[in-house]
């Protein structure tokens, strides 16, 4: 299903008017579903398939198969709990702001009452503003009750501010992880359609996991899915995963094993990015300008590469690039020093 169709499926009622695709291929987090036209199912007949998690190699729990859970929210909860990349939930940012504005308005009104009380006491009872002890001892003074109410409202308001700040620190899910939730709920329909409204809007979701898959990780999974090689499927899946389903159209991969492959590739690429410019600078018999161009070229290539292979933060990209640049510059400087020393020695010979 195309992205526009997915959005339309969620936004445009009634949902029942949209047809489920007869044959498609998609990824739900670490759950890989291949549907060949020969095995295409009709709407409503799609089998529920478990995803894999990083702990898949460690053992098999009871009720591991999703079919063991009752249909509905129990089964949906089991699917979402099966992988950290499925832990996608609504943030309800608009509702949070409505609550914040409501409590903010309450405090603003209490602040106005306190200011009015201060002005009135300044004219009729100035001692109330000058002494808290005398103000509290005055049975006609309402300031103590007002201050207690303000204190309660402020305590609740502070909790709202802290909760909102914590909410803003949560990451947004990648498009792939968000669509995993949409695809599963729309295709499997584990809950009634009237309770699917929480899927809108798409930009109001957060993910609890701090380790979303990198673009390179996702690409590896797609290549494994499209390869069609049985030995590759067995290599990157555990016996427990292969026992979860007998459907030949469904492939389950171990996230831990794919991580090992990704780490090996990242290590190899890192060595290449470090040794290639060093070798070029060492064997390149050209002027200094050409060597500087080589350094700049690889320094520009380095951050782009690590961004693809991983999901680094901005300061991590900056620090890694600076360290990489420093290594090349130090090597270039030491190389020029050795060449200059050798040239001086040659000039000094008779």
* pLDDT of amino acid 179: 85
More confident call, 87 vs 288: 87
| 266/155: higher pLDDT | 155
Residue of higher predicted confidence among 149 and 12: 149
CA–CA gap between residue 124 and residue 263 (Å, rounded): 77
**Beta-strand relationship, 205-207 and 88-90:** antiparallel
- 37-51, 250-264, 265-279, 326-340: which has the minimum mean pLDDT? 37-51
Q: Would you say 35 and 1 are in contact if contact means Cβ atoms under 8 Å apart? A: no
Query: Which of the four pLDDT bands, split at 50, 70 and 90, describes residue 184?
Result: confident
Mean pLDDT (the chain, rounded) = 74
pLDDT at 277: 84
Confidence of residue 61 (pLDDT cuts 50, 70, 90): very low
The number of angstroms, rounded, from the C-alpha of 161 to the middle of its chain's C-alpha atoms is 23
Residue 23's CB is within 10 A of a number of other CB atoms, namely 12
Q: Pick from 338, 27, 350: which is nearest to 174 by CA?
A: 27
157 vs 48, more confident: 157
Contacts of 272 (CB under 8 A, 6+ apart): none
Model confidence band, residue 96 (pLDDT cutoffs 50, 70, 90): very high
Q: Is 206 helix (H, G, I), strand (E, B) or coil?
A: strand
Q: Is the pLDDT of residue 17 over 50?
A: no
pLDDT at position 270 over 80? yes
263-267, 288-292, 322-326: range with lowest mean pLDDT: 288-292
Task: Give mean pLDDT, residues 217-226.
Answer: 77
pLDDT at 283: 75
Per-residue tokens: 3: 């992205």
Between 36 and 325, whose confidence is greater? 325
What is the phi-psi region of residue 330: left when phi exceeds 0, alpha when psi lies from -120 to 50, beta otherwise? alpha
Q: Which pLDDT score is estimated for 220?
A: 79
CA 243 vs CA 2, 56, 303: distances in Å: 31, 12, 41
9, 15 Cβ separation under 8 angstroms = yes
| pLDDT at residue 148 tops 80 | yes
pLDDT tens readout for residues 245-255: 454 544 567 77
pLDDT given for residue 285 in this prediction: 62
What's the pTM value of the predicted model, to 2 decimals? Answer: 0.59
Q: How far apart are CA 58 and CA 46, in angstroms?
A: 29
State both tokens at 292.
């500087």
Three-state DSSP state, 55: coil
Res. 258: pLDDT tops 70: yes
Residue 206 sits at φ, ψ, to 5 deg, of -130, 160
């Amino acid at each position: 299903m195309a992205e526009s169709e997915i959005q339309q499926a969620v936004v445009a009622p009634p949902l029942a008017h949209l047809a489920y695709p007869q044959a498609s291929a998609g990824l739900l987090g670490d759950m890989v579903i291949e549907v060949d036209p020969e095995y295409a199912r009709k709407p409503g007949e799609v089998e529920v398939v478990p995803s894999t998690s990083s702990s898949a190699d460690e053992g098999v729990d009871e009720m591991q198969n999703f079919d063991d859970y009752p249909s509905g929210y129990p089964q949906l909860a089991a699917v979402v709990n099966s992988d950290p990349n499925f832990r996608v939930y609504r943030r309800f940012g608009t509702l949070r702001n409505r609550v914040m504005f409501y409590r903010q308005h309450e405090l603003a009104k209490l602040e106005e009452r306190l200011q009015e009380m201060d002005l009135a006491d300044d004219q009729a009872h100035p001692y109330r503003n000058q002494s808290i002890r005398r103000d509290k001892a005055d049975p006609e003074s309402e300031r103590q009750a007002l201050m207690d109410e303000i204190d309660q409202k402020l305590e609740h308001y502070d909790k709202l501010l802290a909760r909102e700040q914590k909410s803003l620190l949560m990451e947004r899910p990648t498009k792939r992880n968000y669509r995993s939730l949409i695809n599963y709920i729309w295709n499997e329909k584990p809950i009634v359609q009237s309770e699917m409204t929480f899927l809108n809007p798409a930009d109001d979701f957060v993910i609890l996991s701090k380790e979303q898959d990198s673009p390179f990780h996702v690409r590896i999974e797609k290549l494994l899915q499209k390869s069609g090689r049985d030995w590759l499927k067995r290599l990157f899946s555990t016996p427990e995963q292969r026992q979860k389903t007998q459907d030949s159209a469904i492939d389950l991969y171990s996230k831990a094993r794919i991580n090992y492959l990704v780490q090996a590739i990242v290590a190899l690429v890192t060595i290449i990015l470090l040794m290639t410019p060093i070798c070029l600078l060492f064997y390149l018999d050209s002027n200094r300008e050409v060597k500087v161009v080589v350094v700049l070229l690889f320094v520009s290539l380095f951050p782009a590469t690590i961004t693809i292979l991983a999901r680094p933060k901005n300061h991590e990209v900056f620090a890694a690039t600076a360290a990489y640049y420093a290594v090349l510059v130090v090597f270039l400087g030491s190389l020029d020093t050795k060449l200059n020393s050798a040239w001086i020695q040659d000039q000094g010979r008779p």
